[in-house]
Amino acid sequence: TNPLSVTMTANKNIKATFTAIASTTTYTLAVNMVGLGSVSPAVGTFVEGTTQILSASPATGYTFTGWSGDATGSTNPLSVTMTANKNITATFTAISTDIDLSADIVQSRIYPNPSTNTFMLELGTPLDVAIYSITGQLVFSYKRVVYAEFGEELNPGVYIVKAGESFFKIIKE
């Protein structure tokens, strides 16, 4: 019992046992999305101090570009410690497949397309180039190139090539 009453008639050894009280405080995790994609877990109520792992998955034709609200950056997956209610937004950006006919792209080409082996990339002006899977994951990139031969390392499928601010669809057979 607490308090304990002891009558001292001789020397006594008294042992007290304490048990930690588990936290009963909970916080809400809310996740919003801009663009097309999914985040797991999307919502929930979690015990104070627990860590939740948010994983963003872009829809086909989109790429994950970052977190905002009660989280920042583009680390994926994201570790969130529940110390308060959290409202986090995942942003997914569409990968455009339109061809920009501006002066620096008119003189550009990727051939052969489709290809069973490699692609030749020729640009009218030095540009940064990135190759993405159809799900929006960066496969590899080049800085300020006018010519590149690539594709041997690609698995069969559809890819998006971003040259400067322009996008091209290529097919590896």
Mean pLDDT per 10-residue interval, the chain, length 173 residues: 73 73 81 88 84 89 89 92 93 68 59 90 87 90 90 92 86 91
In three-state secondary structure terms, 135 is coil
| Structure confidence at residue 134 (pLDDT) | 86
Question: 10: which 2 tokens?
Answer: 């001789």
Place of tokens 């030749």: 120
User: Looking at the DSSP assignment, which residues form a beta bridge with residue 172?
Assistant: 115, 157
Environment class of 168 (CB within 10 Å of its CB; exposed 0-12, middle 13-18, buried 19+): buried
Instruction: Provide the pLDDT for residue 91.
Output: 92
Residue 160 near residue 154, CB atoms below 8 Å: no
The β-bridge partners of 160 are: 132, 169
The runs of H, that is alpha helices, within the chain are 103-106
Quote the pLDDT of residue 22: 61
The pLDDT value given to residue 166 = 82
Closest CA to 76 of 50, 32, 40, 48: 40
- Amino acid identity, position 134: I
pLDDT of residue 105: 46
- The single residue listed with the structure tokens 């540009």 is 127
User: Which pLDDT score is estimated for 86?
Assistant: 93
- Residue 56, pLDDT score: 92
**Secondary structure of the chain: what % helix, strand, coil (to 5)?**
0, 55, 45
